[in-house]
């Protein structure tokens, strides 16, 4: 711990950013169809728990990830039904979903694994880290980019895919139109509800993957409330990135770096409380520095306060 | 409000409670225990004897105060999700005031109550100010400030103000002088005067919101911000005052718990039971009505103390309470509709209002 900034810090940034980025991309999809999803935190938590359950009982990482995705999609359908069909306030539904996630995971942790607080099994395998054949050899980039779990690479691929989908395909345009003006979209024959459901389900898939990366990629365990506000930080990343995949990625990288830095700083003689505070403080600072009109509109539409 | 409105406004929370209990019954059935037996134990744990009933009231005290704070902010249309951080900072400020202020016990007590209210309120007003002056989304800032406040309070009791006389493993302040404690209401029972403070706060808030000029401004603002602004109500002023009072009530929640129950600030003792978040649930359940929030706090506290009884006497873990609560709130949220939310939905919906 002699050096603060080095290559391994950037390497862990890439690892830490993944759950935030995945959740933020999911949130961005919801925001693009006019739904402000405060439930990201809870969705990721459910994904993290389901991934551990799947891994423990099947022993297969693939099945674990699938189970995580499946469970989270079910919960996002609940969100979609309440917010779209019942027209409930999506912020309140999101908050309720977070409560439900905390309640169900702690309850299930007690009943399935009969432990309190955290579940850890030393025989359980985490996601493997891939060594990229050629890139590995490049001096500085190699050690940063190589050696992550498949989900990390998938996430960055997803940013590209989502960019192409939103801005280059017909279906993506319909999705954007739904968010811009639902009535106009509907009059053009877009099935507004179907598009909204699609966005929420995709958000569920992303959050499921985010949870799997959190509980199987970074550590191989589940702890109560292990998301620790990452879902909320993802919301900020989504707002700062103006729900634009590349912008969301840039904002998430900043917060991932803060996450990595906060862990790195623990080796120095600064009280851990302050190093742990860093990601949250920097998130507020980032909101302050990068405030501009376009994301404000979204924030205002989404709530926080109604003006 | 006429009788019919009363009935419908009461019916929905009651149905929600029923749905929550049904979901709980399902969870109990999945675990493989007897549903009736478990709920019987829950009732006994919450109200089975005078001792248990006062225990429930004790637990309801911080929940009620935090819930009232949230209710005030919600009434004005501000999503203050920072009650937990405000509560913790208020508690630590109260503990330190009671510990280090010289003077007689009653002065320490009064000063500590005031400090708890003030610090919680100021922390909350910071978020209000960030929104009013720089348009930072209040929902997000209050949420993130929770983590900062909890970590900061944790730092205070692990480094500068740590109790060095007792076990080194627990991060806590030294014990507060007995003269500055909130008195117990019954000897040998846990119920303390903080409950009376909470009950008075609920009544006061009800009267203020219904019958004062400021309450009118708050309600107007919640119903229709543009109309309120047109009528000359200054948004920044309403926001700062209601956030100050909202956070202050949350701070008071932590304060009475410190002065009446724990007699010191212990790291995690306020956050682990989730008082602030339960308060928020109570507020949602009661649709931000002050007296309703107080009642809902009692109900949720009873669920929690009841679940402890369940844990003691059956195979079902006490986390059953959080499942019931969450389902209950989810059900409530489906029809949670203030007029200003209705208005927003009307604007967004695909109907004729646009």
CATH number at residue B189: 1.10.3470
Which residues, 6 or more positions from B22, have their beta carbon under 8 angstroms from its beta carbon? none
A219 secondary structure, DSSP code: -
Helix (H, G, I), strand (E, B) or coil at A48: helix
In a domain, A2, yes or no: no
Q: Which residues of B touch A106 (CB under 8 A)?
A: 319, 322
ipTM reported for the complex, 2 dp: 0.82
Cβ atoms of B288 and B304 within 8 Å: the answer is no
In a domain, B19, yes or no: no
pLDDT score recorded for residue B168: 66
Cβ B350–A299 below 8 Å, yes or no? no
**Range from A85-89, A270-274, B6-10 that averages highest in pLDDT:** A270-274
In a domain, B227, yes or no: yes
In a domain, B336, yes or no: no
Residues across chain B? 354
- Residue range A258-263: mean pLDDT, rounded: 82
- Residue range A156-179: mean pLDDT, rounded: 85
Query: Residue A298 pLDDT more than 70?
Result: no
Measured between CA atoms, how close is A184 to chain B, in angstroms?
9
pLDDT score recorded for residue A94: 86
Q: Which of A96, A239, A307 sits opposite B333 (nearest CB)?
A: A96
In a domain, A136, yes or no: no
Mutation target for A interface from B140, B221, B280, B339: give the one with most A CBs within 10 A.
B140
Cβ A296–B329 below 8 Å, yes or no? no
Cβ A277–B284 below 8 Å, yes or no? no
Cβ atoms of B19 and B264 within 8 Å: the answer is no
**Range from A2-11, A261-270, B1-10, B273-282 that averages highest in pLDDT:** B273-282
Largest Cα–Cα distance of chain B, in whole Å? 70
**From CA A97, how far away is CA A40, in angstroms rounded?**
9
Q: Which of B337, B300, B306 lies closest to B28, judged by CA?
A: B306
In a domain, B97, yes or no: yes
Cβ B136–A288 below 8 Å, yes or no? yes
In a domain, A12, yes or no: yes
Tokens representing B207?
A: 């009267």
Q: Which residues of B touch A292 (CB under 8 A)?
A: none
Quote the percentage of chain A above a pLDDT of 70.
87
Counted domains in chain B: 1
| Paired residues of A305 in beta bridges | B78
pLDDT score recorded for residue B61: 93
CATH number at residue A23: 1.10.3470
Q: Which of A100, A107, A296 sits opposite B317 (nearest CB)?
A: A107
In a domain, A134, yes or no: no
Cβ atoms of A37 and A31 within 8 Å: the answer is yes
* Residue in chain B nearest A39 by alpha carbon: B330
Cβ A82–B334 below 8 Å, yes or no? yes
Counted domains in chain A: 1
Give me chain A's average pLDDT, please.
81
Cβ B147–A280 below 8 Å, yes or no? yes
Cβ atoms of B101 and B94 within 8 Å: the answer is no
In a domain, B335, yes or no: no
Measured between CA atoms, how close is B123 to chain A, in angstroms?
14
The burial class, CB within 10 Å (0-12 / 13-18 / 19+), for B268 is middle
Q: How confident is the model at residue A186 (pLDDT cuts 50, 70, 90)?
A: confident
Helix (H), strand (E), coil (C) string for chain B: CCHHHHHHHHHHHHHHHHHHHHHHHHHHHHHCCCHHHHHHHHHHHHHCCHHHHHHHHHHHHHHHHHHHHHHHHHHCCECCCCHHHHHHHHHHHHHHHHHHCCCCHHHHHHHHHHHHHHHHHHHHHHHHHHHHHHCCCHHHHHHHHHHHHHHHHHHHHHCCCCCCCCCCCCCECCCCCHHHCCCECCCCCCCECHHHHHHHHHHHHHHHHHHCHHHHHHHHHHHCHHHHHHCCCCHHHHHHHHHHHHHHHHHHHHHHHHHHHHCCCECCCCCCCCHHHHHHHHHHHCCCCHHHHHHHHHHHHHHHHHHHHHHHHCCCCCCHHHHHHHHHHHHHHHCCCCHHHHHHHHHHCCCCCC
**Range from A149-153, A176-180, B19-23, B293-297 that averages highest in pLDDT:** B293-297
- Residue range A193-214: mean pLDDT, rounded: 90
Q: Which of A34, A100, A273 sits opposite B152 (nearest CB)?
A: A273
In a domain, A266, yes or no: yes
Tokens representing A146?
A: 């190589």
Q: Which of B324, B304, B301 lies closest to B65, judged by CA?
A: B301
Domain span at A178: 7-119+143-302
Quote the percentage of chain A above a pLDDT of 90.
9
**From CA B252, how far away is CA B195, in angstroms rounded?**
11
Cβ atoms of B291 and B208 within 8 Å: the answer is no
In a domain, A124, yes or no: no
Query: Residue A136 pLDDT more than 70?
Result: no
In a domain, B326, yes or no: no
pLDDT in tens, chain B (354 residues): 566 666 667 777 788 888 888 888 888 888 887 888 888 888 888 888 888 889 899 999 999 999 999 999 988 888 888 999 999 999 999 999 988 888 888 888 899 999 999 999 999 999 999 988 888 888 888 988 999 999 999 898 887 777 777 666 778 888 888 887 888 888 878 888 889 999 999 999 999 888 888 888 888 887 777 888 787 777 788 888 989 999 999 999 999 999 988 888 888 888 888 899 899 989 988 888 899 899 999 999 999 998 888 888 887 888 888 888 888 888 877 764 443 444 454 444 443 332
**From CA A121, how far away is CA A114, in angstroms rounded?**
13
pLDDT score recorded for residue A169: 86
Mutation target for B interface from A103, A234, A281: give the one with most B CBs within 10 A.
A103
Domain span at B87: 46-318
In a domain, B116, yes or no: yes
Q: Which residue has the tokens 């000029």?
A: B213
Question: Phi, psi at residue B213, to the nearest 5°?
Answer: -65, -40
A-B C-beta contacts closer than 8 Å: 158
pLDDT score recorded for residue A44: 92
pTM of the full structure: 0.83
In a domain, B177, yes or no: yes
Question: Phi, psi at residue A120, to the nearest 5°?
Answer: -140, 135
Q: How confident is the model at residue A307 (pLDDT cuts 50, 70, 90)?
A: very low
């Amino acid at each position: 711990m002699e050096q603060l900034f080095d290559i391994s810090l950037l390497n862990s940034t890439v690892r830490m950013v993944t759950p935030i980025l995945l959740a933020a991309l999911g949130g961005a999809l919801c925001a693009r169809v006019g739904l402000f999803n405060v439930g990201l935190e809870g969705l990721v938590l459910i994904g993290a728990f389901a991934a551990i359950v799947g891994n423990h009982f099947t022993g297969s990482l693939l099945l674990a990830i699938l189970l995580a995705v499946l469970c989270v999609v079910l919960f996002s359908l609940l969100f979609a039904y309440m917010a779209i069909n019942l027209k409930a306030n999506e912020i309140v539904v999101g908050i309720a979903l977070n409560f439900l996630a905390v309640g169900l995971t702690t309850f299930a942790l007690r009943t399935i694994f009969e432990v309190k607080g955290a579940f850890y099994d030393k025989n359980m395998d985490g996601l493997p880290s891939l060594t990229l054949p050629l890139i590995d050899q490049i001096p500085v980039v190699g050690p940063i980019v190589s050696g992550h779990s498949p989900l990390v690479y998938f996430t960055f691929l997803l940013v590209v895919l989502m960019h192409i989908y939103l801005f280059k395909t017909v279906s993506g345009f319909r999705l954007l139109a739904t968010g811009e003006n639902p009535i106009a979209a509907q009059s053009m024959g877009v099935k507004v509800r179907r598009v909204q459901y699609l966005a929420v389900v995709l958000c569920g898939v992303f959050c499921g993957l985010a949870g799997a990366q959190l509980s199987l990629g970074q550590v191989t365990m589940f702890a109560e409330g292990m998301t620790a506000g990452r879902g909320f930080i993802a919301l900020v990343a989504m707002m700062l990135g103006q729900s634009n995949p590349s912008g969301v990625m840039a904002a998430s990288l900043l917060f991932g770096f803060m996450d990595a830095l906060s862990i790195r700083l623990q080796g120095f003689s600064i009280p851990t409380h302050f190093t742990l505070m860093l990601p949250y403080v920097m998130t507020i600072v980032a909101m302050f520095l990068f405030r501009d009109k376009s994301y404000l509109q979204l924030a205002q539409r989404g709530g926080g306060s109604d003006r | 409000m006429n009788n019919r409105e009363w009935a419908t406004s009461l019916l929905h929370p009651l149905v929600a409670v029923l749905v929550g209990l049904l979901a709980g019954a399902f969870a109990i059935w999945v675990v493989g225990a007897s549903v009736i037996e478990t709920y019987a134990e829950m009732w006994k744990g919450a109200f089975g004897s005078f001792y248990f009933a006062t225990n429930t009231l004790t637990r309801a005290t911080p929940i009620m105060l935090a819930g009232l704070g949230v209710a005030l902010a919600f009434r004005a249309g501000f999503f203050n999700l920072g009650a937990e951080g405000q509560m913790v900072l208020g508690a630590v400020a109260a503990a330190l005031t009671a510990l280090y202020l010289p003077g007689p016990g009653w002065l320490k007590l009064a000063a500590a109550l005031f400090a708890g209210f003030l610090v919680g309120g100021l922390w909350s007003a910071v978020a209000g100010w960030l929104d009013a002056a720089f348009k930072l989304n209040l929902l997000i800032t209050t949420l993130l400030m929770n983590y900062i406040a909890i970590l900061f309070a944790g730092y205070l009791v692990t480094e500068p103000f740590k109790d060095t006389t007792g076990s080194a493993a627990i991060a806590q302040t030294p014990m507060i002088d007995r003269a500055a404690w909130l008195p117990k209401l019954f000897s040998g029972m846990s119920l303390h005067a903080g409950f009376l403070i909470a009950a008075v706060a609920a009544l006061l808030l009800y009267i203020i919101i219904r019958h004062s000029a400021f309450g009118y401004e708050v309600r107007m603002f919640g119903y229709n911000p543009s109309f309120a602004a047109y009528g000359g109500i200054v948004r920044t002023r309403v926001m700062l005052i209601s956030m100050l009072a909202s956070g202050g009530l949350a701070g008071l929640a932590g304060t009475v718990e410190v002065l009446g129950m724990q007699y010191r600030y212990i790291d995690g003792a306020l956050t682990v039971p989730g008082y602030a978040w339960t308060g928020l649930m109570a507020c949602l359940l009661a649709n931000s009505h002050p007296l309703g929030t107080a009642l809902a706090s009692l109900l949720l506290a009873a669920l929690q103390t009841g679940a402890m009884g369940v844990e003691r006497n059956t195979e079902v873990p006490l986390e059953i309470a959080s499942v019931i609560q969450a389902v209950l709130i989810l059900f409530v949220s489906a029809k949670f509709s203030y007029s200003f939310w209705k208005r927003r939905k009307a604007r967004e919906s695909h109907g004729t209002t646009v």
